[in-house]
Structure formats: structure tokens, C-alpha cells
Copies of this chain bind each other. A is one copy, B any other.
Amino acid sequence: MSTLAHIDRLTLIGTGLIGGSLALGLKQAGFVGEIVGCGRRGSQLQRALELGVIDRSEPDPAAAVAGAGLVVVCVPVLAMPAIFAAIAPAMRPDAVLTDVGSTKQSVIDAAQQAFGELPAGFVPGHPIAGTEHSGVEAAFATLYQQRLSILTPTPASSESAIATVQAMWQACGARVAVLDAEHHDDVLAATSHLPHVLAFALVDLLASRADHDEVFAYAAGGFRDFTRIASSSPDMWRDIASANRHALTQNLDALIERLQGLRAAIAVDDRRTVHACFSRAKQARDNYVDLVEEVQT
């Protein structure tokens, strides 16, 4: 079932995995007329055009947003201030603006800075989806199906702008949840940013061993899954770690403390404490999987 086109012209700033998949999903749903793509790297933009992800390329952000009813910014979070500054004077006054940044308070701060005051058309967003691959070649139309997209409207966000951004994600098959930006940043620090930092730290530790060849040769399937996210983009994750460093360091402290407690229990062979921790974790993880499967079926 295709949705009627709501938006004549959508401008996509950043045409990598996340932006490219959004464009493909929206085209498939008939949600947009024209998609204008804008990006820093000419080769990526050219490839997006060849793959049919965008209809027209425009390297200059201000020129790209001219006449667009909906602007979606899909760049690493630390690149957002410069993009907002470039597009602020060029946007249609009634345009809706959203983003896909993994941290939300930093994006809101950047918009405040660039626009002077938060625009009514601005609705920060964050789709909880992705793969460890990056770039437009990795984009696919169904990335957001059955996934969650979180919106963190500001006090200035208008009801109609919120409705447009919500409809956009629903057109791609996503469910939409609304969350306070600060709570979003804390929850995502725990469930996404912290695991990424852990996976990067673990693989980096193993790679630094003198016997790293053997270590990787003897690693099992569990290791492959556990470290999948360590193949994610270092640029993107450096930005996220920086932009959300307050919540991330708090979550890292809590985890380090828990690891130290577990380490102490293992060292004195306190099997009861170790077993209790493992059991609680298994129970919570099994419940989580049941929950996910319930939502997806």
C-alpha cells in the first residue's frame, strides 16, 4: 500500500547509509516528489544519483534547501552546527527540519545557535536502526521497517511539524516514539553508545596483544557478534562520544564500577555473586528478546 505524496521537495543533507535508506524508503512509499541530495563528498553524491537514491545533487547546502518543504540532516553530529549555520538563512519559512543524529541535546544546542531561536518547524529525530556498514552503497529501502524512530520535539516544535516528521518515518515502516532529549541521551548512552565504546575498547585491547594473530584466529562466533559494532565508522562514533560525553562518561563509570565488583568476586572465587549477576543478566536478556520478537510479529 503506497502513501500519497505529502512533500513536493525533500532535501537530504548527507546521503550515507541512514540518509540513503530513508530516501529509498520514502520513494518506495510515494511520500515525496523530488529528493535533492547534498553532501560534502562529490563521489558519494554522484553515486547516490547513479543508484537512484536522490533525483538531483546540489553540493551547496544553502542552494540545496531552497524551496524544500522538508529538510533532513543526516550527517555526523559534530558536523551539524556548520550545516545548520549554512541552511538557516536559505530555508523556506514554513519548511520542516529534522535530523537523524544519535545524540539529541547537542543537535538542539546547535540549532539554537544557528537559528537564534528554535524554529517551530524543527523536530529533532533519531531512528534506532543501522548496520555496521556506512555509505550510500550500503543503503536499502527496508532499513526502518519495524524499527523505532524517536522524536525529541523542543518546546518550540509545532504540532504540524511533529506530524510531518512522524508521517515520514511511518511511511518507511517505522514506529515513532516521543522522548525528552535529555532522557533520550541517557538511555541511548546506556544501550548504544556504551556498547559501542566497549566493543571498540575490547577489540583494541586484543589487537594490542603480541599474540593478536592467534587471539583472532581462535575467536569464536560469539566474539564475531559481540564485536560487530566495532566495525562501525570511527568518525561517526568519535562524534557521538564527544557530543554525548556527559551521559556516556556517567554510564561508563557505572559499568566500570560493576566490572570491578565482578572482578573482585571472580578473584576470590565467590561463585554465588558471580552466578547471581549472570542469572539476572540472562533473565533480562531473554525477556528483551521475547519483547523484540513480540513487536516484530
Give A residues with C-beta under 8 Å from B.
128-132, 147-148, 150, 177, 179, 183, 187-188, 190-192, 194-209, 211-212, 214-235, 237-238, 241-242, 245, 248-249, 252-256, 258-260, 262-263, 266-267, 269, 271, 274-275, 277-289, 291-292
Please tell me if the beta carbons of A242 and B266 are within 8 angstroms of each other in the complex.
Answer: yes
Min distance, Cβ A290 to any Cβ of chain B, angstroms: 10
Please tell me if the beta carbons of B190 and A215 are within 8 angstroms of each other in the complex.
Answer: yes
Please tell me if the beta carbons of B229 and A277 are within 8 angstroms of each other in the complex.
Answer: no
Q: Is the interface of A mostly helix, strand, loop or mixed?
A: helix
Min distance, Cβ A227 to any Cβ of chain B, angstroms: 5
A211 partner, pick from B187, B221, B275, beta carbons under 8 A = B187
A200 partner, pick from B196, B203, B277, beta carbons under 8 A = B277
Collect the chain B residues with CB atoms within 8 Å of residue A226's CB: 195, 198-199, 225-226, 228-229
Collect the chain B residues with CB atoms within 8 Å of residue A128's CB: 218-220
Please tell me if the beta carbons of A191 and B203 are within 8 angstroms of each other in the complex.
Answer: no
Instruction: State whether A214 and B187 are in contact (beta carbons under 8 Å apart), knowing that A248-B266, A282-B230 are contacts in the complex.
Output: yes
Please tell me if the beta carbons of B288 and A219 are within 8 angstroms of each other in the complex.
Answer: yes
Please tell me if the beta carbons of B229 and A225 are within 8 angstroms of each other in the complex.
Answer: yes
Once bound together, how far apart are the Cα atoms of A282 and B196, in whole Å? 11
Please tell me if the beta carbons of A280 and B202 are within 8 angstroms of each other in the complex.
Answer: no
Give A275's nearest chain B residue, CB to CB: B238
Please tell me if the beta carbons of B190 and A284 are within 8 angstroms of each other in the complex.
Answer: no
A284 partner, pick from B192, B216, B263, B288, beta carbons under 8 A = B216
Collect the chain B residues with CB atoms within 8 Å of residue A287's CB: 216
Min distance, Cβ A271 to any Cβ of chain B, angstroms: 5
Once bound together, how far apart are the Cα atoms of A131 and B129, in whole Å? 25
Please tell me if the beta carbons of B221 and A192 are within 8 angstroms of each other in the complex.
Answer: no
Please tell me if the beta carbons of B259 and A252 are within 8 angstroms of each other in the complex.
Answer: yes
Min distance, Cβ A282 to any Cβ of chain B, angstroms: 5
Please tell me if the beta carbons of B280 and A207 are within 8 angstroms of each other in the complex.
Answer: yes
A191 partner, pick from B223, B237, B274, B281, beta carbons under 8 A = B223
